[in-house]
Amino acid sequence: MSSSCSSPSSSFSFTSCLTIMLLLILYSTSAICADKPHRQLSVDYYAKSCPQLEQLIGSITSQQFKEEPISGPATIRLFFHDCFVEGCDASITIKSKQGSKMLAEKDAPDNKDLREEGFESVRKAKALVESKCPGVVSCADILAIEARDYVHLAGGPYYQVKKGRWDGRISMASRVASNIPQANFTVNQLLELFDSKGLTLEDLVVLSGAHTFGYAHCQSFESRLYDYRGSKQPDPLMDPRLLRALRMSCPHYGGNADIVAPFDVTTPFVFDHAYYGNLEAKLGLLASDQALALDPRTKPIVQAYAKDKAKFFQAFGVAMEKMGSIGVKRGRKHGEKRKDCSMHM
Protein backbone atom coordinates (compact mmCIF):
# COMPACT_ATOMS: atom_id res chain seq x y z
CA MET A 1 0.00 0.00 0.00
CA SER A 2 2.83 2.36 0.82
CA SER A 3 4.25 2.13 -2.67
CA SER A 4 0.92 2.94 -4.30
CA CYS A 5 0.67 6.10 -2.22
CA SER A 6 4.23 7.31 -2.23
CA SER A 7 5.21 6.69 -5.82
CA PRO A 8 2.36 7.16 -8.29
CA SER A 9 3.32 6.17 -11.82
CA SER A 10 4.75 8.93 -13.95
CA SER A 11 1.78 8.89 -16.29
CA PHE A 12 -0.43 9.88 -13.39
CA SER A 13 1.94 12.03 -11.34
CA PHE A 14 0.64 15.15 -13.00
CA THR A 15 -2.95 14.10 -12.56
CA SER A 16 -5.63 16.10 -10.83
CA CYS A 17 -7.91 14.80 -8.20
CA LEU A 18 -10.71 13.13 -9.97
CA THR A 19 -12.77 12.57 -6.98
CA ILE A 20 -12.25 15.73 -5.20
CA MET A 21 -14.05 17.00 -8.17
CA LEU A 22 -16.68 14.56 -7.79
CA LEU A 23 -17.32 15.78 -4.41
CA LEU A 24 -16.80 19.19 -5.71
CA ILE A 25 -19.35 18.86 -8.21
CA LEU A 26 -21.70 17.11 -6.07
CA TYR A 27 -21.86 19.78 -3.57
CA SER A 28 -21.84 22.87 -5.63
CA THR A 29 -23.78 25.31 -7.78
CA SER A 30 -26.16 28.11 -7.25
CA ALA A 31 -29.86 27.49 -6.98
CA ILE A 32 -30.03 25.66 -10.27
CA CYS A 33 -32.19 22.72 -9.43
CA ALA A 34 -34.72 22.71 -12.21
CA ASP A 35 -37.65 20.38 -11.75
CA LYS A 36 -39.06 20.57 -15.26
CA PRO A 37 -36.13 20.48 -17.73
CA HIS A 38 -34.93 17.03 -16.66
CA ARG A 39 -38.30 15.58 -17.55
CA GLN A 40 -37.77 16.84 -21.07
CA LEU A 41 -34.53 14.89 -21.41
CA SER A 42 -34.74 11.49 -23.08
CA VAL A 43 -32.47 8.58 -23.91
CA ASP A 44 -33.50 8.65 -27.58
CA TYR A 45 -33.34 12.43 -28.03
CA TYR A 46 -30.96 12.09 -31.02
CA ALA A 47 -32.48 8.88 -32.40
CA LYS A 48 -33.39 10.56 -35.70
CA SER A 49 -31.02 13.53 -35.88
CA CYS A 50 -27.82 11.64 -34.97
CA PRO A 51 -28.55 7.93 -34.48
CA GLN A 52 -24.88 6.95 -34.34
CA LEU A 53 -24.05 9.45 -31.58
CA GLU A 54 -23.14 7.03 -28.80
CA GLN A 55 -21.00 4.92 -31.11
CA LEU A 56 -19.13 8.00 -32.32
CA ILE A 57 -18.41 9.18 -28.80
CA GLY A 58 -17.57 5.64 -27.71
CA SER A 59 -14.86 5.41 -30.36
CA ILE A 60 -13.19 8.45 -28.81
CA THR A 61 -13.53 7.46 -25.16
CA SER A 62 -12.26 3.92 -25.72
CA GLN A 63 -9.19 5.20 -27.58
CA GLN A 64 -8.52 7.92 -25.02
CA PHE A 65 -8.87 5.45 -22.17
CA LYS A 66 -6.19 3.24 -23.74
CA GLU A 67 -3.79 6.06 -24.55
CA GLU A 68 -4.41 8.36 -21.56
CA PRO A 69 -6.16 6.45 -18.74
CA ILE A 70 -6.30 9.62 -16.68
CA SER A 71 -8.88 10.89 -19.18
CA GLY A 72 -11.45 8.87 -17.23
CA PRO A 73 -11.31 10.56 -13.84
CA ALA A 74 -10.46 13.87 -15.51
CA THR A 75 -13.67 13.83 -17.56
CA ILE A 76 -15.89 12.70 -14.70
CA ARG A 77 -14.51 15.46 -12.53
CA LEU A 78 -15.13 17.89 -15.37
CA PHE A 79 -18.76 16.79 -15.54
CA PHE A 80 -19.28 17.30 -11.81
CA HIS A 81 -17.66 20.71 -11.85
CA ASP A 82 -19.81 21.68 -14.80
CA CYS A 83 -23.09 20.61 -13.26
CA PHE A 84 -22.52 22.29 -9.93
CA VAL A 85 -21.81 25.69 -11.44
CA GLU A 86 -24.57 27.04 -13.72
CA GLY A 87 -25.93 23.53 -14.23
CA CYS A 88 -25.01 20.81 -16.74
CA ASP A 89 -24.48 23.12 -19.71
CA ALA A 90 -20.79 22.72 -20.69
CA SER A 91 -20.02 26.20 -19.35
CA ILE A 92 -16.87 24.68 -17.83
CA THR A 93 -15.43 24.14 -21.32
CA ILE A 94 -15.57 27.81 -22.39
CA LYS A 95 -12.23 29.62 -22.58
CA SER A 96 -11.76 33.09 -21.14
CA LYS A 97 -11.78 35.79 -23.78
CA GLN A 98 -8.32 37.17 -24.43
CA GLY A 99 -7.89 40.55 -22.79
CA SER A 100 -11.11 40.29 -20.82
CA LYS A 101 -11.10 41.03 -17.09
CA MET A 102 -13.94 38.59 -16.57
CA LEU A 103 -12.52 35.07 -16.47
CA ALA A 104 -14.48 31.96 -17.44
CA GLU A 105 -15.19 29.07 -15.05
CA LYS A 106 -12.26 27.09 -16.40
CA ASP A 107 -9.82 29.69 -15.06
CA ALA A 108 -11.26 29.94 -11.53
CA PRO A 109 -8.79 29.04 -8.73
CA ASP A 110 -10.93 26.05 -7.73
CA ASN A 111 -10.68 24.69 -11.28
CA LYS A 112 -6.97 25.21 -11.83
CA ASP A 113 -6.24 21.52 -11.25
CA LEU A 114 -8.74 20.22 -13.80
CA ARG A 115 -6.80 17.93 -16.11
CA GLU A 116 -6.40 18.96 -19.72
CA GLU A 117 -7.15 15.37 -20.78
CA GLY A 118 -10.78 15.91 -19.84
CA PHE A 119 -11.12 18.97 -22.05
CA GLU A 120 -9.24 17.22 -24.85
CA SER A 121 -11.56 14.23 -24.72
CA VAL A 122 -14.59 16.50 -25.15
CA ARG A 123 -12.88 18.41 -27.96
CA LYS A 124 -12.11 15.23 -29.92
CA ALA A 125 -15.60 13.81 -29.48
CA LYS A 126 -17.21 17.10 -30.50
CA ALA A 127 -15.08 17.32 -33.65
CA LEU A 128 -16.06 13.80 -34.70
CA VAL A 129 -19.75 14.30 -33.94
CA GLU A 130 -19.80 17.62 -35.84
CA SER A 131 -18.32 15.89 -38.89
CA LYS A 132 -21.24 13.44 -38.94
CA CYS A 133 -24.10 15.43 -37.39
CA PRO A 134 -23.26 19.14 -37.79
CA GLY A 135 -25.00 21.59 -35.48
CA VAL A 136 -27.12 18.94 -33.78
CA VAL A 137 -25.48 17.70 -30.56
CA SER A 138 -24.61 19.94 -27.63
CA CYS A 139 -21.28 19.92 -25.81
CA ALA A 140 -23.23 19.38 -22.59
CA ASP A 141 -24.67 16.08 -23.83
CA ILE A 142 -21.28 14.95 -25.11
CA LEU A 143 -19.75 15.56 -21.69
CA ALA A 144 -22.54 13.63 -19.95
CA ILE A 145 -22.13 10.64 -22.29
CA GLU A 146 -18.35 10.63 -21.98
CA ALA A 147 -18.56 10.62 -18.17
CA ARG A 148 -20.72 7.48 -18.35
CA ASP A 149 -18.41 5.84 -20.88
CA TYR A 150 -15.34 6.32 -18.71
CA VAL A 151 -17.09 4.97 -15.61
CA HIS A 152 -17.93 1.83 -17.56
CA LEU A 153 -14.50 1.51 -19.20
CA ALA A 154 -12.90 1.56 -15.74
CA GLY A 155 -15.08 -1.32 -14.57
CA GLY A 156 -18.08 0.60 -13.31
CA PRO A 157 -21.76 0.38 -14.23
CA TYR A 158 -23.23 1.15 -17.63
CA TYR A 159 -26.30 3.34 -17.35
CA GLN A 160 -28.47 5.08 -19.91
CA VAL A 161 -27.79 8.80 -20.38
CA LYS A 162 -30.77 11.03 -21.01
CA LYS A 163 -30.04 13.76 -23.54
CA GLY A 164 -31.45 17.04 -24.76
CA ARG A 165 -29.31 19.61 -22.92
CA TRP A 166 -28.30 22.85 -24.59
CA ASP A 167 -25.03 24.66 -23.93
CA GLY A 168 -25.11 27.60 -21.54
CA ARG A 169 -24.00 31.09 -22.47
CA ILE A 170 -22.79 32.13 -19.01
CA SER A 171 -19.37 31.09 -17.72
CA MET A 172 -17.96 33.17 -14.86
CA ALA A 173 -15.04 32.26 -12.62
CA SER A 174 -16.57 34.32 -9.82
CA ARG A 175 -19.43 31.85 -9.51
CA VAL A 176 -17.27 28.80 -8.93
CA ALA A 177 -15.93 29.04 -5.36
CA SER A 178 -19.30 29.16 -3.62
CA ASN A 179 -20.47 26.08 -5.51
CA ILE A 180 -17.48 23.80 -5.09
CA PRO A 181 -16.87 21.87 -1.83
CA GLN A 182 -13.52 21.98 -0.12
CA ALA A 183 -11.50 18.92 0.89
CA ASN A 184 -11.93 19.62 4.61
CA PHE A 185 -15.69 20.20 4.51
CA THR A 186 -17.77 18.69 7.31
CA VAL A 187 -20.77 16.51 6.54
CA ASN A 188 -23.03 19.42 7.44
CA GLN A 189 -21.30 21.66 4.91
CA LEU A 190 -21.49 18.96 2.26
CA LEU A 191 -25.16 18.37 2.91
CA GLU A 192 -25.91 22.06 2.65
CA LEU A 193 -24.25 22.20 -0.77
CA PHE A 194 -25.97 19.06 -1.97
CA ASP A 195 -29.33 20.27 -0.80
CA SER A 196 -28.86 23.52 -2.72
CA LYS A 197 -28.59 21.41 -5.87
CA GLY A 198 -31.61 19.30 -5.11
CA LEU A 199 -29.47 16.33 -4.06
CA THR A 200 -30.02 14.21 -0.96
CA LEU A 201 -27.94 12.70 1.81
CA GLU A 202 -27.77 9.43 -0.10
CA ASP A 203 -26.81 11.25 -3.30
CA LEU A 204 -23.87 12.74 -1.41
CA VAL A 205 -22.58 9.36 -0.30
CA VAL A 206 -23.21 7.73 -3.68
CA LEU A 207 -21.60 10.43 -5.79
CA SER A 208 -18.64 10.62 -3.42
CA GLY A 209 -18.03 7.02 -4.47
CA ALA A 210 -16.59 8.39 -7.68
CA HIS A 211 -13.49 8.78 -5.55
CA THR A 212 -13.01 5.09 -6.13
CA PHE A 213 -10.53 6.19 -8.78
CA GLY A 214 -8.60 9.35 -9.53
CA TYR A 215 -6.07 11.42 -7.61
CA ALA A 216 -5.70 14.47 -5.38
CA HIS A 217 -2.80 16.89 -5.04
CA CYS A 218 -1.00 17.10 -1.71
CA GLN A 219 -2.49 20.48 -0.89
CA SER A 220 -5.94 18.87 -0.71
CA PHE A 221 -5.05 16.69 2.28
CA GLU A 222 -1.79 18.13 3.64
CA SER A 223 -3.47 19.58 6.75
CA ARG A 224 -4.52 16.05 7.77
CA LEU A 225 -0.87 15.02 7.77
CA TYR A 226 0.62 17.82 9.83
CA ASP A 227 -1.94 20.21 11.31
CA TYR A 228 -5.40 18.71 11.53
CA ARG A 229 -8.01 21.28 12.54
CA GLY A 230 -5.24 23.57 13.82
CA SER A 231 -3.94 20.96 16.30
CA LYS A 232 -0.34 20.91 14.98
CA GLN A 233 -0.82 17.14 14.91
CA PRO A 234 -1.93 14.68 12.21
CA ASP A 235 -5.51 13.50 11.98
CA PRO A 236 -5.77 10.78 14.66
CA LEU A 237 -8.37 8.95 12.58
CA MET A 238 -6.03 8.28 9.65
CA ASP A 239 -4.48 4.82 9.44
CA PRO A 240 -0.82 5.18 10.59
CA ARG A 241 0.48 3.29 7.54
CA LEU A 242 -1.32 5.65 5.19
CA LEU A 243 -0.07 8.63 7.16
CA ARG A 244 3.54 7.49 6.83
CA ALA A 245 3.21 6.82 3.11
CA LEU A 246 1.56 10.17 2.40
CA ARG A 247 4.14 12.07 4.43
CA MET A 248 6.85 10.53 2.25
CA SER A 249 5.15 11.86 -0.86
CA CYS A 250 4.00 15.16 0.62
CA PRO A 251 6.57 16.74 2.96
CA HIS A 252 5.34 19.59 5.15
CA TYR A 253 7.63 22.03 3.36
CA GLY A 254 9.36 22.12 -0.01
CA GLY A 255 7.39 19.36 -1.69
CA ASN A 256 6.61 19.04 -5.38
CA ALA A 257 3.28 20.74 -6.09
CA ASP A 258 2.58 18.26 -8.91
CA ILE A 259 2.69 15.17 -6.70
CA VAL A 260 -0.63 13.39 -6.31
CA ALA A 261 -1.98 10.46 -4.31
CA PRO A 262 -4.84 8.12 -5.22
CA PHE A 263 -8.21 8.55 -3.57
CA ASP A 264 -8.49 4.78 -3.43
CA VAL A 265 -5.19 3.33 -2.18
CA THR A 266 -6.24 -0.28 -2.80
CA THR A 267 -7.55 -0.25 -6.41
CA PRO A 268 -6.71 3.26 -7.71
CA PHE A 269 -7.31 2.53 -11.40
CA VAL A 270 -10.59 0.64 -11.11
CA PHE A 271 -14.13 1.90 -10.67
CA ASP A 272 -15.42 -0.39 -7.93
CA HIS A 273 -16.77 -0.06 -4.39
CA ALA A 274 -13.42 -0.29 -2.57
CA TYR A 275 -13.70 3.40 -1.66
CA TYR A 276 -16.30 2.59 1.00
CA GLY A 277 -14.29 -0.25 2.52
CA ASN A 278 -11.32 2.09 2.65
CA LEU A 279 -13.36 4.62 4.63
CA GLU A 280 -14.28 1.91 7.14
CA ALA A 281 -10.56 1.08 7.46
CA LYS A 282 -9.62 4.75 8.01
CA LEU A 283 -7.96 4.89 4.60
CA GLY A 284 -9.91 7.85 3.22
CA LEU A 285 -7.67 10.44 1.58
CA LEU A 286 -9.69 13.61 2.11
CA ALA A 287 -11.13 14.73 5.42
CA SER A 288 -14.48 15.21 3.67
CA ASP A 289 -14.37 11.58 2.52
CA GLN A 290 -13.43 10.10 5.88
CA ALA A 291 -16.16 12.13 7.59
CA LEU A 292 -18.79 10.12 5.72
CA ALA A 293 -17.80 6.97 7.62
CA LEU A 294 -18.02 8.72 10.98
CA ASP A 295 -21.23 10.73 10.84
CA PRO A 296 -24.20 8.67 12.11
CA ARG A 297 -26.34 9.94 9.22
CA THR A 298 -24.00 8.74 6.46
CA LYS A 299 -22.17 5.84 8.14
CA PRO A 300 -24.92 3.23 7.49
CA ILE A 301 -24.91 4.07 3.78
CA VAL A 302 -21.11 3.75 3.62
CA GLN A 303 -21.36 0.35 5.31
CA ALA A 304 -24.06 -0.83 2.92
CA TYR A 305 -22.07 0.06 -0.19
CA ALA A 306 -18.87 -1.41 1.26
CA LYS A 307 -20.66 -4.76 1.41
CA ASP A 308 -22.62 -4.65 -1.84
CA LYS A 309 -21.00 -3.49 -5.09
CA ALA A 310 -24.14 -4.17 -7.14
CA LYS A 311 -26.18 -1.94 -4.86
CA PHE A 312 -23.63 0.87 -5.20
CA PHE A 313 -23.47 0.52 -8.99
CA GLN A 314 -27.23 0.68 -9.34
CA ALA A 315 -27.45 3.72 -7.06
CA PHE A 316 -24.58 5.46 -8.83
CA GLY A 317 -26.31 5.35 -12.21
CA VAL A 318 -29.48 6.80 -10.69
CA ALA A 319 -27.55 9.55 -8.87
CA MET A 320 -25.62 10.50 -12.00
CA GLU A 321 -28.87 10.89 -13.92
CA LYS A 322 -30.23 13.06 -11.13
CA MET A 323 -27.12 15.21 -11.00
CA GLY A 324 -27.08 15.42 -14.78
CA SER A 325 -30.46 17.17 -14.72
CA ILE A 326 -29.27 20.12 -12.60
CA GLY A 327 -29.86 23.46 -14.28
CA VAL A 328 -30.53 22.00 -17.74
CA LYS A 329 -30.93 24.63 -20.48
CA ARG A 330 -33.43 24.10 -23.29
CA GLY A 331 -33.97 26.08 -26.49
CA ARG A 332 -32.38 29.17 -28.02
CA LYS A 333 -33.89 31.45 -25.41
CA HIS A 334 -31.74 29.87 -22.71
CA GLY A 335 -28.86 28.22 -24.55
CA GLU A 336 -26.98 27.41 -27.72
CA LYS A 337 -25.32 24.45 -29.41
CA ARG A 338 -21.69 25.36 -29.81
CA LYS A 339 -19.69 23.98 -32.72
CA ASP A 340 -16.50 24.61 -30.72
CA CYS A 341 -17.10 23.79 -27.05
CA SER A 342 -14.49 26.33 -25.94
CA MET A 343 -16.10 29.30 -27.68
CA HIS A 344 -19.52 30.94 -27.82
CA MET A 345 -21.30 30.89 -31.17
The pLDDT tens digits of the residues spanning 291-328 come to: 999 999 999 999 999 999 999 999 999 999 999 999 99
What is the residue-averaged pLDDT of the chain? 88
252 is catalytic: no
Torsion sign across C-alpha atoms 264, 189, 311, 324? negative
Quote the pLDDT of residue 271: 97
Angle at 310 between CA 70 and CA 35, to 5 degrees: 80
Binding residue per annotation — 89? Answer: yes
Mean pLDDT of the region 177-182: 91
Residues composing the chain: 345
Quote the pLDDT of residue 126: 98
- DSSP tag of 6: H
Catalytic residue among 38, 81, 152, 273: 81
pTM over 0.95: no
Binding residue per annotation — 82? Answer: yes
Binding residue per annotation — 157? Answer: no
Binding residue per annotation — 289? Answer: no
Quote the pLDDT of residue 5: 38
Quote the pLDDT of residue 25: 35
Binding residue per annotation — 209? Answer: no
Looking at the DSSP bridge assignments, the partners of residue 329 are 166
